[in-house]
Structure 1
Amino acid sequence: MHIVAPYTFYSQSAVSETNTANHIKTIQLLTGAEFSGIPILKLGDPFRITFDDINGDESDYYYRISHYNFDWTPSSLYKNEFLDGFDEIRIVNYENSFNTLQMYSHYTLSIPNEDTRRLKVSGNYLIEIYNDDDEVVFSRKFIVYEPLTSVKVYTKRSRDLKHIDTKQSVQFEINSPNEILRNPRQTVKTLVMQNNDLKNAITNLVPQFTIANSLVYKYDQESSFWGGNEFLFFDSKDIRASTVSTRSIELKDIYHNYLYSNRVRANRRYTYNPDINGNFVIRNLDAENNNVEADYVWMHFSLECYEPLEGGEIHIYGNFNNYTLDESTLLQYDKESGRYYNKSIFKQGFYNYKYVLLRPDGTIDPGFISGNFDETENEYTVLPYYRAPGARYDRVIGKGTGNSANITN
Structure 2
Amino acid sequence: MTRYLFFLGVLFFCSSPILSQAVEVPPPDFIKTIQFKSNTTQGQLPVLRLGEPLVLEFDALNANEEDFYYVIEHFNYDWTPSVLAKAEYLRGLDNQRILDYFNSFNTYQIYSHYKLQIPNLQTRALLKTGNYMISIYDDYGELMFSRKFMVYEDLVNVGVKVKRSRDVKVIASKQSVDIAISTSIINFNNPLETVKTLIIQNNNLNTAITGLAPQYTLGNQLIYRYDTETAFWGGNEYLFFENKDVRAANVGVQFIDLKDIYHNYLFTNEARKGNPYTYNPDINGNFQITAIDRTDVSIEADYTMIHFSLRHEEFMDRDVHIYGNFNGFSIEPLTQMIYNSEAGIYECMMRLKQGFYNYKYVTIDRATGILNEGDISGNYWETENNYKVLVYYRDLGARYDRLIGFGEATSVDISN
Measure the CA separation in 2 of the matches of 1:373 and 1:288: 41
* Mapping for residues 112-151 of structure 1, pairs under 5 Å: 112-151=119-158
The answer to whether structure 1 residue 345 and structure 2 residue 351 are counterparts is: yes
Decide whether the 8 Å contact of 1:28 with 1:35 is kept in 2. Answer: no
What do the CA deviations read for 1:305-343 (whole angstroms, capped 9, x no partner)?
12x634111111100000001111101000110100000
* Mapping for residues 35-114 of structure 1, pairs under 5 Å: 36-114=43-121
What do the CA deviations read for 1:207-254 (whole angstroms, capped 9, x no partner)?
001111110000121100000000000101011111231111110000
* Mapping for residues 220-369 of structure 1, pairs under 5 Å: 220-306=227-313, 309-360=315-366, 361-369=368-376
RMSD over aligned CA atoms reads 1.2
What do the CA deviations read for 1:134-183 (whole angstroms, capped 9, x no partner)?
00111100010111000000101011111111000011111121111100
Which of 209, 213, 216 aligns to 1:209? It is 216
Q: Report the identity percentage.
A: 51
Measure the CA separation in 2 of the matches of 1:11 and 1:199: 23
Measure the CA separation in 2 of the matches of 1:74 and 1:304: 44
Decide whether the 8 Å contact of 2:244 with 2:354 is kept in 1. Answer: yes
Measure the CA separation in 2 of the matches of 1:305 and 1:127: 39
Measure the CA separation in 2 of the matches of 1:123 and 1:36: 19
Decide whether the 8 Å contact of 1:170 with 1:220 is kept in 2. Answer: no
| Secondary structure of the structure 2 residue equivalent to 1:369 | helix
The one-letter amino acid of 2:26's match is N
TM-score (norm 1): 0.96
| Secondary structure of the structure 2 residue equivalent to 1:117 | strand
Structure 1's 33 and 120: CA in aligned 2 closer, same or farther, altered over 3 A? closer
Measure the CA separation in 2 of the matches of 1:19 and 1:311: 25
Which of 392, 395, 399 aligns to 2:399? It is 392
What do the CA deviations read for 1:282-305 (whole angstroms, capped 9, x no partner)?
011121100000000000000011
Decide whether the 8 Å contact of 1:77 with 1:392 is kept in 2. Answer: yes
What do the CA deviations read for 1:54-82 (whole angstroms, capped 9, x no partner)?
01211000000000011111100000000
| Secondary structure of the structure 2 residue equivalent to 1:80 | helix
Measure the CA separation in 2 of the matches of 1:315 and 1:331: 6
Measure the CA separation in 2 of the matches of 1:166 and 1:292: 42
The one-letter amino acid of 2:147's match is R
Structure 1's 396 and 147: CA in aligned 2 closer, same or farther, altered over 3 A? same
Shift of 1:35: 5.6
| Secondary structure of the structure 1 residue equivalent to 2:244 | coil
Shift of 1:19: 2.2
Measure the CA separation in 2 of the matches of 1:257 and 1:102: 14
In structure 1, what is the equivalent of residue 12 of structure 2?
A: none
Decide whether the 8 Å contact of 2:40 with 2:47 is kept in 1. Answer: no
What do the CA deviations read for 1:101-134 (whole angstroms, capped 9, x no partner)?
0000000000000110010000000000100110
Number of residue equivalences = 399
Structure 1's 56 and 33: CA in aligned 2 closer, same or farther, altered over 3 A? farther
Decide whether the 8 Å contact of 2:83 with 2:399 is kept in 1. Answer: yes
The answer to whether structure 1 residue 403 and structure 2 residue 383 are counterparts is: no
Decide whether the 8 Å contact of 1:29 with 1:35 is kept in 2. Answer: no
Measure the CA separation in 1 of the matches of 2:342 and 2:65: 43
| Structure 2 segments unaligned to the other structure (5+ residues) | 1-16
Decide whether the 8 Å contact of 1:282 with 1:349 is kept in 2. Answer: yes
Measure the CA separation in 2 of the matches of 1:220 and 1:252: 54
The answer to whether structure 1 residue 19 and structure 2 residue 26 are counterparts is: yes
* Mapping for residues 362-377 of structure 1, pairs under 5 Å: 362-377=369-384
Measure the CA separation in 2 of the matches of 1:253 and 1:12: 45
Which of 127, 144, 166 aligns to 1:159? It is 166
| Secondary structure of the structure 2 residue equivalent to 1:238 | coil
Decide whether the 8 Å contact of 2:24 with 2:146 is kept in 1. Answer: yes
The one-letter amino acid of 1:64's match is V
What do the CA deviations read for 1:363-401 (whole angstroms, capped 9, x no partner)?
111101100000000000000100001100000000000
Measure the CA separation in 2 of the matches of 1:16 and 1:300: 29
Shift of 1:362: 1.4
The one-letter amino acid of 2:38's match is T
The one-letter amino acid of 1:266's match is K
In structure 2, what is the equivalent of residue 197 of structure 1?
A: 204
| Secondary structure of the structure 1 residue equivalent to 2:320 | strand
| Secondary structure of the structure 1 residue equivalent to 2:351 | strand
Shift of 1:34: 7.7
Shift of 1:51: 0.2
Decide whether the 8 Å contact of 1:232 with 1:275 is kept in 2. Answer: yes
Runs of 4+ in structure 1 displaced over 3 angstroms?
Answer: 32-35
Measure the CA separation in 1 of the matches of 2:391 and 2:199: 9
